[in-house]
């Protein structure tokens, strides 16, 4: 520093040194989104990355000691929300500041993911995910309790692909919140109530969302209720890639609410196909019987005509014979039609309403 005309004047080097010393006197916590994380390279002593403000997109360059990174035992990936404790410093040559990170923690979604993995391990050790503990879904369920929001797309999709297709299925909606602090308790209480109501299956569904949106379905108390339930529980939560704790504990997991509906009616669809096939076979059989009877009648008449000299009263008796044969054929047809009508009545009960 020099005194020029009574004023303190610093060189660039001196002012950068002063700035660095001032910054390094304090430790600060910084919240940000991990960006440009390059991983560890043995050629360098440190790990380098940016912490980014997702709103303004401003970035803070960071330097991390690999020993600290190893200590966290977490896989760092771009996009993670982090809390970092460090000291700001200035790279004097460039006049650019950066933060030397001393501690790093996951924040927001990162914390949720960490807690989720811990809960998975705990429940797995308790046997909640064991296949032998899961109850079998009924083959042809007629009474179904659906636990979801009445205003949700999940409920509309489920109805469209199940009860709107087979009207005889008794499907009762139990309206609950599917997001927010109160949702978990409401879902648990509803499952307790429904489990005592003798439904054949309980369907727990909701649409997709972020891990924060689905956090209610990653609750330990909800997992306990699903595991203890006497009624088989089918889940269809989020999208195919979303797998919650509730999905893992449930007796059967569908990838989406629509998929849950298809699982419910799958055996009905298979039965419907079999009945349609039987209907076609019976139709062919009846036509074959009728055709064979007419062939036999024609053959018999031809035989009578060839032997007409042997029968004096052929003309008089032929009318009676023809009437008797015709009545016999009609009786056969009527008997088969009655049998087919009964089968068709049963089939129509399983036929989708257009």
* 3-state SS string for 138-186: CCCCCEEEEEECCCCHHHHHHHHCCCCCCCCCEEEEEECCCCCCCHHHH
Domain locations in the chain as residue ranges = 10-107, 113-265, 270-349
CATH architecture group of domain 10-107: Beta Barrel (2.40)
What is the pLDDT averaged over residues 114-139?
91
Task: Between 323 and 65, name the one with better pLDDT.
Answer: 65
CATH fold of 113-265 = Rossmann fold (3.40.50)
- Do 10-107 and 113-265 show the same overall fold? no
pLDDT of residue 353 exceeding 60, the answer is no
pLDDT at 310: 58
- At 341 the pLDDT is 67
Q: Residue 3: pLDDT band by 50, 70, 90 thresholds?
A: confident
Averaged pLDDT for residues 18-34: 85
Range 23-49 average pLDDT = 83
Q: What is the pLDDT of residue 322?
A: 66
Mean pLDDT of 45-74: 80
- Residue 246, pLDDT > 70, answer yes
Q: 72 is written with which tokens?
A: 């966290």
Give me the mean pLDDT over the 336-343 stretch: 68
Please determine, for residue 154, whether its predicted confidence score (pLDDT) is greater than 60. yes
Strand ranges for the chain from DSSP E: 2-4, 7-9, 27-35, 47-52, 59-64, 81-91, 96-106, 143-148, 170-175, 201-206, 233-237, 252-254
Residue 202 pLDDT > 90, yes or no? yes
pLDDT, residue 164, reads: 74
Q: What is the mean pLDDT of the chain?
A: 83
Question: How is 6-24 classified by DSSP, letter by letter?
Answer: TEEE--HHHHHHHHHHHHT
The answer to whether residue 220 scores a pLDDT higher than 90 is yes
- Tell which residue, 264, 266, 210, has the closest CA to residue 237: 210
Cα-based distances in Å from 62 to 5, 125, 132, 251: 41, 39, 49, 47
Of the listed ranges 6-15, 254-263, 300-309, 344-353, the least confidently predicted one is 344-353
How sure is the predictor about 214, in pLDDT bands with cuts at 50, 70 and 90? confident
Spell out the residues 6+ positions from residue 317 whose beta carbon is closer than 8 angstroms to its own: 311
| Number of other CB atoms surrounding residue 60 within 10 Å | 18
Q: Lowest-confidence range among 47-51, 186-190, 250-254, 302-306?
A: 302-306
Q: Mean pLDDT across the stretch 98-119?
A: 80
| Residue 9, pLDDT score | 85
Quote the pLDDT of residue 266. Answer: 86
DSSP 200: S
For residue range 273-332, what is the model confidence (pLDDT) as tens digits?
888 888 888 888 888 887 777 777 777 777 766 665 555 555 556 666 667 766 766 776
What pLDDT was estimated at residue 146? 96
């Amino acid at each position: 520093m020099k005194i020029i005309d009574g004023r303190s004047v610093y060189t660039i080097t001196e002012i950068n040194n002063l700035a660095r010393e001032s910054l390094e006197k304090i430790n600060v916590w910084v919240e940000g989104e991990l960006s440009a994380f390059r991983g560890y390279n043995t050629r360098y002593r440190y790990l380098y990355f940016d912490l980014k403000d997702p709103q303004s997109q401003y970035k803070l360059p960071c330097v991390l000691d690999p020993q600290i990174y190893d200590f966290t035992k977490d896989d760092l990936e771009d996009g993670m929300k982090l809390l970092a404790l460090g000291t700001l410093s200035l790279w004097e040559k460039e006049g650019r500041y950066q933060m030397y990170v001393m501690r790093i923690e996951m924040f927001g979604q990162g914390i949720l993911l960490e807690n989720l993995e811990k809960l998975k391990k705990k429940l797995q050790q308790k046997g909640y995910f064991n296949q032998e503990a899961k109850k079998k879904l009924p083959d042809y369920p007629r009474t179904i309790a659906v636990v979801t929001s009445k205003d949700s797309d999940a409920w509309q999709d489920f109805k469209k692909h199940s009860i709107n297709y087979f009207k005889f299925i008794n499907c009762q909606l139990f309206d609950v919140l599917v997001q927010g602090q109160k949702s978990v308790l409401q879902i648990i209480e509803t499952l307790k109530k429904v489990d005592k109501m003798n439904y054949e299956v309980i369907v727990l569904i909701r649409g997709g969302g972020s891990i924060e949106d689905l956090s209610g379905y990653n609750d330990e108390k909800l997992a306990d209720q699903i595991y203890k339930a006497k009624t088989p529980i089918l889940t269809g939560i989020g999208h195919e890639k979303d797998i919650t704790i509730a999905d893992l504990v449930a007796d059967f997991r569908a990838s989406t609410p629509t998929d849950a509906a298809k699982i419910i009616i799958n055996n009905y669809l298979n039965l419907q196909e079999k009945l349609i096939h039987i209907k076609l076979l019976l139709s062919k059989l009846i036509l074959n019987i009728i055709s064979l009877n007419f062939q036999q009648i024609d053959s018999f008449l031809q035989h009578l005509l060839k032997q007409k000299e042997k029968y004096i009263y052929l003309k008089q008796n032929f009318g009676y014979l023809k009437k008797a044969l015709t009545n016999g054929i009609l009786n056969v047809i009527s008997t088969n039609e009655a049998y087919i009508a009964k089968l068709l009545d049963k089939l129509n009960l399983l036929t989708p309403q257009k």
